[in-house]
Structure 1
C-alpha cells in the first residue's frame, strides 16, 4: 500500500551525502520494522513514515542505522468518523511525504480491510524535525456502493512542468490520478484511471525521468506474512495521465505490468514501494516479510537504476 519524486527545487534541502555512496542494496540495521514506507531526507537526517498506529516514524543519520521516533498522531481527527464510520483507533495506512512550497506535506489513508469506504487525509508541518503537524482535513474519500474506486495509498507526484498530482487507489477499479491545487494541496478536476488488475493492484508511485513517467505498483496480495504474494511492478507512459504500458507494450488498464521484484527465499512479498531522488540518483524503499523473523515486515532500500528506458535494481 506506497514514492517521492523530487525536482531540483529541493536541492538545498537535500544537501549532504549522496546516494551514490551506498551499495546497490543498502545494508540496514537497528529498528527497521515498517509496512508501506515513505522515505524522505531532510538536511542530514533520513526519515521514513509507515503504516501503523498514528503513522509510525523511523529516523537515521546515514540511511543505514535506523531508530524509532515518535508517532505523528496522538489523537483521532474528528472528521475521520464522518467518512469512515467503521474505522476505530489510530490505525493509519500507507502515508506519503513530500517537501513542497516551503512545507512538508504528509498524505495518509484510513479504511478497513475489504471495504472501499475510505478516506485520504493531509497533514502539514514546517519541518519533519520540528514535528509541528497541522491537520488539513480530508483530501478525497470513497464510499461503498457509491464510488468504484478506493481512496487509499496516496502518492504526491509532479509532472514535467512542476504541477502536483495525487495518484492513489487499491483493488476495486484500480489506480487513479487527479490534479492537485497548489494552494490547497487538494484535488481539482476529474479523476483518471491509470491501471487495473482483478487479482490485486495498489500502492502507486510515479516518477518522471527522461521523457517518461514510470508508474510503480504493488500487485497481488499483501499482509499475510510469508504467505504474502506481493510484488513490485511497473509500466511507463509519455503523459502523467497515461496510457501506461508494460515492457511488452500492453496497457496497465488491461491488467498488465512488468514485475521488478518478486522477492526471494528470505524477503517474501515485497511492496508498498516509494521512490526517492537526489542529485540524479534514485532509490526505492519498500517493505518485505522476513522469513527469518516469522514474517515480520521490514524496510529494504536499493539503488534504482534505469537501463534502456526501464527500471532495475
Structure 2
C-alpha cells in the first residue's frame, strides 16, 4: 500500500529492457547516439512540432531549471503559483541556474488565473532598475495539488504572458496524466495554446530517470545546450537516457501508464468517497488525492503497515475522530488489491 508518490514506484519492464538492449556494444556519447535521433523525431511527431529542439536530462529539477534559465535573465522574475514545484521543492535551483532571478508568486492556490497573472505582471517593472524585471511564466500541469488546467485556462495564461512579451514554460512532470484527463493532443495542451517550452516528464510515469525539454522555438537551442553542459547535466553515456525515452514513447506506453495511474486514483477516490467521515479538498482530476479522515483511520493504516503516504497533523493526539489530512498519489503499477485494502482499513 504505497501512495507516497508516483516517483516511488518501479520502472516499467519495457524501460529496463530498453536500457539493457542499449547496453550492447558502443555508442557515441553526449546525445550523439542513434537512439536519440529516433527519440527526437518521435517527440517532434507526437507534438506536431517538426522544428522543435529536443533534449534529455535525468531529473525534473534539471529540466525545469535549465529551461527557465534559457528563458530568463538574472535580473528578471519568474511568475508561478505559490505551490509550484519550482518554488516549494527544488531548493532554489531555478534561482541558482538563472543566476539569481527571483520567483513571483501569483494568486493563493495551485492554479493561476489569467486575471491574477495580469495583476502580478503589472506590479513588476514599477521601480525602474531598482526592482525585478518581468520574466517567464511557469505553469505546473498536473499541479502540485492534483488539479489540471483546462486548455482554455492555459491559453488564457499564455495570452496574458505573450501580451507583455513574456515566454511560457510548462512543468510537465505529470504531463501524461494531465493529457489523459483532458483527452486532447500534446500539441493542443502546449504550443497550440501558446506554451513556448515544455518539461516533459518520464520519471514519475514508469521511467528510471529521464525528462525531455522541448523548445518549440529552436532559436533557443544553442543556449540550452550550453547551459546543460555548464550545469553538469549533459550525460556522457547519454544512450541510457535515450533508451528510456524511446521505450517510453513506443506504442504509447507513456499514455498507457498515465491512464492506469489515473484509473487507480479514480478507484481509490470512489472507495474513499463511500466512507462516512472522509472529506476531499477537491475532486481528484488525475492521479493525486488530497483528503482527510479521522485519526483512528490513520492509526489503523499505520498498524497494518500502510505507512507510505503523506499525512498532516499529530497522530499521537487524544481525539480519535479528529480529522487529519492525507495526500495519496497513485502510479501505474499499484495493484487493485492494495487500493481496496487501503480503503477497507480507512473504513474500519
TM-score range, shorter chain: under 0.3
RCO (CA 8 Å, sep 6+): is it higher in 1 or 2?
Answer: 2
The structure in which a higher percent of residues are strand is 1
Question: Based on CA coordinates, which of the two structures has the bigger radius of gyration?
Answer: 2
Instruction: State the TM-score, normalizing by the size of structure 2.
Output: 0.26
